[in-house]
Amino acid sequence: MLVTRILTKRIYDGIVPEDGFCVLVDRIWPRGISKEKLGAAIWFKEIAPSTKLRKEFRHDPARWEEFKKRYFLDLDFEAEVVSDFLALIENKKCVTLLYSARDTKHNQAIALKEYLEKRLREAGL
């Protein structure tokens, strides 16, 4: 597998060609975004945090580390979903994880990027 870069971006900022292969990683469809606006991007809601975890987190920076810990455990448990996601992004030069949260530093896409980069490093990729 070869992924040169994994980026994150708020879906409301629009998608440009430089974003590469885009994947919406929200469990819930973002308000005000049409499927046409998403364009060629893929919606992979299965990789997003569970509804329970998302509601407990509430994008509260004080809960960030605990959220990441629990989300990573969930991802480890959902190995098939992670494998499917890695297969989806395989051999893409640039992958942008799209999210709708207002907080650009504490959201599931940032956490997922960290998780994926760690997994790729561990696999020597």
DSSP string covering 20-55, please? Answer: -EEEE--SSPPTT--HHHHTT-EE-GGGSPPHHHHH
Residue 2 confidence (pLDDT): 61
Residue 106 host element (H or E): none
- The answer, yes or no, to whether residue 73 has pLDDT greater than 90, is yes
Regarding beta strands 42-43 and 5-10, do their DSSP bridges make them parallel or antiparallel, or are they unpaired? unpaired
Q: For 41-60, what is the mean pLDDT?
A: 91
HSE of 28, CA atoms in CB hemisphere, 13 A: 10
Residue 91: how many CB atoms within 10 A of its CB? 10
Residue 104 confidence (pLDDT): 93
Residue 102: how many CB atoms within 10 A of its CB? 10
Q: In what order do the strands lie in the sheet with 5-10?
A: 5-10, 94-99, 21-24, 42-43
Q: What is the pTM of this model?
A: 0.92
**Domain residue extents for the chain:** 5-122
Residue 1 confidence (pLDDT): 55
